[in-house]
Amino acid sequence: MGSFFAKAKIGIFVILYCAMGYGATPHQTRTAYCALADDPIPFVGKHIVVRAVYIYGFEIQRLDAADCCPSKKLNIWVEIGPLDAQSRRFLKRFPKGMGLTLATFSGAFETGGGPFGDGGYRYRLTVDHIENVEATARPSEANRPPWTNRDCVSGSSETPAAQTPSILHQSGRVDPPKPQ
């Protein structure tokens, strides 16, 4: 008889647990990178899905625009959290050590508790799912992939090359270009 009541209590607990929403997948908000960069506050604390270029290397893990020119630069630090099996397979396709990846990422977007990364990032995306990978590349000064956003200048009179140093420059692998 005691076993019946124990099973009933467990059953009731499971029903209440599910009814209260625990264990359910969070609501995801799809957004364009430029909408996120132009006004990040509405997305803070939400689980977002965004298509972007993931730039990573020594002390660099950030997102950049894939198909738009944001009106202002937003530094978003990226952390790869625990991933499902499909996402881990996608992650294995990323170049090792340093690279560029055009993909759709899903994760928790947050601010506060930072700065993140090297101290220059006010926002963080903790990726828990990689929806797809469209392209990957190793960084190179001579050959930038066409899907990297290199022609954007947001509120600056500088040329795009002078405004946005390459990942090789950012990681300290090569010296920055000298002014002419």
| 0.85 surpassed by pTM | no
Distance CA 130, CA 88 (A): 8
**How many other C-beta atoms are found inside a 10 Å radius of the C-beta of residue 58?**
11
121-137 vs 47-57, strand pairing mode: unpaired
Q: What is the pLDDT along the chain (180 residues), one digit of tens a residue?
A: 556 655 555 545 444 444 433 333 558 999 999 999 999 999 999 999 999 999 999 889 999 998 888 888 888 999 999 999 999 999 999 999 999 999 999 999 999 877 787 788 999 999 999 999 999 999 887 777 888 766 666 544 333 444 345 555 454 444 445 555
Task: For CA atoms 166, 162, 63, 132, give the dihedral sign.
Answer: negative
Catalogue all structural domains in the chain, each as residue range(s) with its CATH number: 25-170 (2.40.50.140)
